Copies of this chain bind each other. A is one copy, B any other.
Amino acid sequence: MAGVIAQAGFGSFVLAVTDAKPLQVHREHWQQEDPTMNESSQQTATASMYARYIACLNRRAWSELGEFVAADVVHNGRMLGVDGYRAMLEGNFRDIPDLYFNADLVVADESHVASRLRFDCTPIGQFMGVPVNGRRVVFYEHAFYTLRAGKIAEVLSVIDKAAVEALMRP
């Protein structure tokens, strides 16, 4: 979800992080770890990094987030930085305790990833302004990621709010 929830309808977004430890940043660390990496497979490396980023989110392994997200990451036009990005994600997991990221379709080139993310979850209260209140919703997010030095530097994301609304209709 990469925090679009907050951006797109969860109202007040709290950027301040009070309990965050300094994030470890291992530049290019992902390349060293990836057995498929070679000079001619940057596209594969990009997709592989993205898969490990998604796994990081699903493990809520916030101390590893800086391995995937640039220190000055921008999300839907807002300069969050990695701490703000982490705060956004932590907020998402508070609002949707069973949040899980499923990348259904990933298209990658050397410096971009586009991902269709499927969510099947039960937001506690409002979701994008829709009073979900603990009911189950299945919806998609379509996100574009621009990479710089192997890390996510910009995220542009749209969530299918219309689908959530349709699910909540009596």
Which residues of chain A from 111 to 170 have a CB within 8 Å of any chain B CB?
Answer: 112-114, 116, 128-129, 140-144, 156-162
A56 and B160 alpha carbons, distance in the complex (Å)? 27
Chain B residues with CB under 8 Å of A114's CB are 107, 114, 142, 144
Contact (Cβ within 8 A) B116 A107: no
Chain B proximity of A136: nearest CB distance (Å): 19
Chain B residues with CB under 8 Å of A128's CB are 162
* A interface list, Cβ under 8 A from B: 8-9, 43, 105, 107-109, 112-114, 116, 128-129, 140-144, 156-162
A2 and B160 alpha carbons, distance in the complex (Å)? 16
Chain B residues with CB under 8 Å of A109's CB are 43, 107-109
Contact (Cβ within 8 A) B112 A144: no
Q: Which residue of chain B has its CB nearest to the CB of A157?
A: B142
Chain B residues with CB under 8 Å of A144's CB are 105, 107, 114, 116, 142
Chain B residues with CB under 8 Å of A157's CB are 142
Chain B proximity of A154: nearest CB distance (Å): 10
10 residue pairs A–B, Cβ–Cβ below 8 Å: A8-B162, A43-B109, A105-B112, A105-B144, A107-B109, A114-B144, A116-B144, A128-B162, A140-B156, A142-B144
